[in-house]
Chains A and B, each alone.
Chain A
Amino acid sequence: MHDMCLRDGMHAMRHQISLEQMVALATALDEAGVPLIEVTHGDGLGGASVNYGFPAESDEAYLRAVIPHMKNARISALLLPGIGTVEHLRMALDCGVHTIRVATHCTEADVSEQHITLARKLEMDTVGFLMMAHMLDAPSILAQARLMESYGANCIYCTDSAGYMLPDEVAEKLSVLRDGLKPETELGFHGHHNMAMGVANSLAAVDAGADRIDGSVAGLGAGAGNTPLEVFAAVLDRMGAVTGVDVFKLMDVGEDIVVPMMHQMVRIDRDSLILGYAGVYSSFLLHAKRAGEKHGVPSSKILVELGKRKTIGGQEDMIEDVALDLLKRQRKAAGSSA
């Protein structure tokens, strides 16, 4: 179980988590037995920007604050080639990051060669993270996964960035990866709860051979959040699985730490349901709400249009652009009917 509150959750917090909150939450997750915790800007190392949002503190400040407090848990960092570079990767290693997750759109694995090769050479736990996996069929995902494996990734993720996938699709994709990759290569699944499939999809992934499952306590993540980790842990407990995670402590973390710090309830509202339904990148949610408010265009329409244009992760700049296009259209329609 790999917690995302302090990375994917950064999206839901507009990247404004304080160092104290980071340390308190990470320490509590560590005490609850969560083995791996991700700490980075929502869009990965180097994500600090106008496009994705400037965080309260730098990646380096967060990592240096959290890592010394960890008793058992290890810390991971996310890196998207095109946004972050190998310099960021070296910085993360220097801070004591154990796991680096190199994320690309599911069809573009070959942009990760520089970063995966270096991470492996530096003997880091190296993960290839294929995003928006609903946009590509299983055999093609396998081909991309093999590229990452060939660069040196020891674990491959099937990432449902839009919260679009249903359990059958998760099972199919994970099975094809399991059969096609080296037996020693681990598999992971990262879900979003936009269609309330987080837990069901994660179970399907485990059944199909996944070794690592991402979630976040109280679902603190982009869109309607990630797979709620305390719920997933409780389900596994009931199924008789030994997870090493203390379900009651995890519930307390959610109730006492995560929920009180949320800026807004992370839940399946209309916009996040549209993300899942239309297959749109979950991190677009708050950006679309903001652009909608600024320009007087419904955020739901912006999200549907972003889906139509086949935008992918990282294209946050298209949100305001689409809002302005819709505004022009609205004005034209109003003008012609007047």
Chain B
Amino acid sequence: MIDFDLTVVWAFIIAFAVFAYVVMDGFDLGIGILFPSFAHGEERDKAMNSIAPVWDGNETWLILGGGGLLAAFPLAYAVILPATYPLIIAMLLGLIFRGVAFEFRWRDERHRPFWDLAFSGGSLVAALAQGMTLGALLQGIEVADRAYAGSWWDWLTPYTLLTGLGVVAGYAMLGACWLIWKTSGSGQDHAYRMAFWAAIATLVLLVAVSLYTPLLEEQYFRRWFEMPNVLFAAQVPLLTAVLAFALFRSLVKRRQGAPFLLALGIFLLGMAGLGVSMWPYVVPRALTIWDAAAPESSQIFMLIGVAITMPLILAYTAWAYWVFRGKVGDEGYH
């Protein structure tokens, strides 16, 4: 049935943009979340400098996620954003505070504690809002007549709080693992400890969300537990367990790069699990990807753009990371 359906291609492109955003901005939001636990001075400076050259590019994936959704699935964009209005606004305001803090904290030593707080507070709010938006989407959005039909507090439930915390913990795990890779000395020791606790929190919350989600809706339940789906779907939690074990082992053995890569793997499996639950809906139970899709000519026009630019984007993004490879601050960052 799926021979070459542009709508499916676009669903995967949007999913890729969201995943790229989640892992790339995820680790730098995670560093923001963990920021208060680092000592003033060198530890904090190094933590921030490890992401200063790349945060801007990381955040661009969020614009691609939003812009791509508008372009490829305009109806989904028009439904999801009003439904999660306060969350989106909170996320944007959080991102403002943390974004300017990168520059402002170096410009004003007297008020540096304030900008450090803006950095961590903004990161926390943005991460929580993103996780709760995901939860609000999964628990279902009321749609009538091509528009959001619910009230403006529908997004606030125990389930969305759980997904919000899950994303916060997950980002913290990514951020700590990134710092293990990019720093050395006392900051790295601290990052190992943080990674350990954040990974435990992430896995606990991941299990909680995974058990809660199928109970929300019969369709999710059948997707995960009915034969023959279960044979395929069960691979996701099994692989997650394997990766989680490897992650803890790598932390205990004090590996440098492995924890970050394994944490990325856990996120990728989380994304796959999300796909199992949601497919083929973009707004669960209300709009399938085909309901919300833009017309074919819009999809083709953008696909040409993606085909040409995406390899280039990935190449120069990789180059930018390569330029700033290695540990931060071994040579005296400041």
Are A and B interaction partners? no
